[in-house]
Structure 1
Amino acid sequence: MPFDFNTAVRKRYAILPVPRDFIPSSETPTSQILWVGCSDSFIIETETLDVLPEEIFVHRNLGNLLHNRDLSSESALDWCLDLLKVKHIVVCGHYDCALIRENDANEVHGWHKLHRTNTEYLSNINNNLNTEDRDRILEEIYVLAEADWIRTQPNVKKAISGRGLQVHAFVYDKARNQCVRLVELDMVNGAK
């Protein structure tokens, strides 16, 4: 399995706002961020982070995934790490994603398995979740799992240890036009 949902669903995390200066602008037209986003998120990355458009290399696809074994995703990751030497990777999902909804997910190969696994998990921990809350939590789990998977890739691990690359998990809320960070509580407390 490309990433570990069983671990992701057990994570404890804080949801924090993303300040516009979260990643300070270098004020130079050089990419410092690989932004992995969903094709239908409608987010404007430079409004979320106050950086120059040239500072963000944007890669979008269904479900903000890099692990789907396609040449485009693999090339984007390699290009950004090896040639551009980005300092940050942002995995940015969005609430109200069509892939989260069960009917839509059943139509897209593979997503129904992820959706069913996580829906069963959420049902076991809280039967009182309404559909919107459940979908929001599922999106957060997917983003956390994708960020975890990216951190396990050999070239990412090398960049983390060798030059301080950081991987961030964001979720965009179109209704509020704001972005939040998902920060593992161990990371907030400095243990990780």
Structure 2
Amino acid sequence: MTFDFLSLVKKQYRTVPLEGDFIQPSKIEGKEQILWVGCSDSSVEETDVLDVPREEIFVHRNLGNIISNGDLSSESAIEWCLDLLKVKHIIVCGHYDCALIDKGDGSALGGWHKLHELNESHLSKSDSSLNYECRHRKLEEVYVLAEVDWLKRQPSVRRAMEEEGLKLHAFVYDKERNVGYRLVEEQ
């Protein structure tokens, strides 16, 4: 399965401030209902973003919240949460000021350096006035949307979406402002 990196970079979306009650707590106490995919170096606590009890969130952290790299740990977490826990939501949450984007030379990202290059090229053509911080933030958002796009194409995820009503969400957290944002794709 290959990515159309250019369409990911050009994807239209908006950032919407995330309300803590975006996902309601489960009616079954202690039942995990969310798979949270976050960044290994992030200091973002899932319960800082959502008003959901900690025991309702299964957390999987990976370098740069990248799950589409063929990593057995990521694949296992996804299958466990879908097949055994029957989660209702998968959240991919990136964070602004991610060191992977600043310092990643492409080797740790696998093919993701292509996405980085295309994003820079696209931003240069579409809006060359964007400063470094805006470009960095945009790239983090594109990475998160790319991971959600990859998830949507996985057979087990598609099946859970169709048969069990699984919902996928793209979030980005701004540690400086202590605010989470939903990335909402335009139709």
What TM bracket, shorter-length normalisation?
over 0.9
CA deviations on 1:108-167 (whole Å, 9 max, x unpaired) are: 433433322221221121111111100001111111111111011000000000011000
Q: 2:83 matched to which residue of 1?
A: 82
Could you report, residue by residue, the CA deviation over 1:88-108 in whole angstroms, capped at 9, with x for unpaired residues?
Answer: 00000011111212xx11164
2:45 matched to which residue of 1? 44
Tell me if the contact between 2:5 and 2:114 (Cα under 8 Å) persists in the aligned partners. Answer: no
Q: Counterpart of 1:105 in structure 2: which amino acid?
A: G
Q: Does the CA-based 8 Å contact 2:67-2:74 persist in structure 1?
A: yes
Distance 1:31 1:49 in 2: 14
Normalising by structure 1, we get a TM-score of: 0.91
| Residues 4, 42 of structure 1: alpha-carbon distance in 2 compared, 3 angstrom cutoff | farther
Task: Please tell me whether the aligned partners of residues 105 and 115 of structure 1 are also in contact (alpha carbons under 8 angstroms).
Answer: no
Residues 41 and 172 of structure 1 are in contact (CA less than 8 Å); yes or no, is this contact kept in structure 2? no
- 1:2 to 1:90, Cα distance in 2 relative to 1, 3 A: farther
Quick one: percent identity of the two aligned structures? Answer: 60
Q: Which aligned pairs between 1:7-156 and structure 2 lie closer than 5 A?
A: 7-27=7-27, 28-101=29-102, 104-106=103-105, 108-109=107-108, 110=110, 111-156=112-157
Cα distance in 2, alignment partners of residues 112 and 25 from structure 1: 38
Name stretches of at least 5 consecutive residues in structure 2 with no aligned partner. none
Shift of 1:177: 0.9
Change (3 A) 1:142 1:107: closer
1:182 aligns with 2:183: yes
Q: How far 1:2 sits from its partner (Å)? A: 4.7
Greater CA drift, 87-96 or 27-36 = 27-36
Tell me by how many angstroms 1:50 deviates: 0.9
Contact 2:9 2:118 in 1 (8 A): no
For the 8 Å contact 1:3–1:146, the answer to whether it is kept is: no
**2:94/2:140 contact within 8 Å kept:** yes
Mapped to 1, the partners of 2:147 and 2:162 lie a distance apart of 19
TM-score, scaled relative to structure 2: 0.93
Q: Which residue of 2 aligns with 1:3?
A: 3
TM-align CA RMSD: 1.4
Letter matched to residue 133 of structure 1: C
Once the two structures are superposed, residues 5-62 of structure 1 have per-residue CA deviations (whole angstroms, 9 ceiling, x without a partner) of: 2222222111111111100001510110000001112111012111111100000011
Looking at structure 2, the residues matched to 4 and 87 of structure 1 have their Cα atoms a distance apart, in angstroms, of 27
Contact 2:92 2:144 survives alignment (8 Å): yes
**Superposed structure 1 runs of 4+ greater than 6 Å apart:** none
Match of 1:42, SS state, is coil
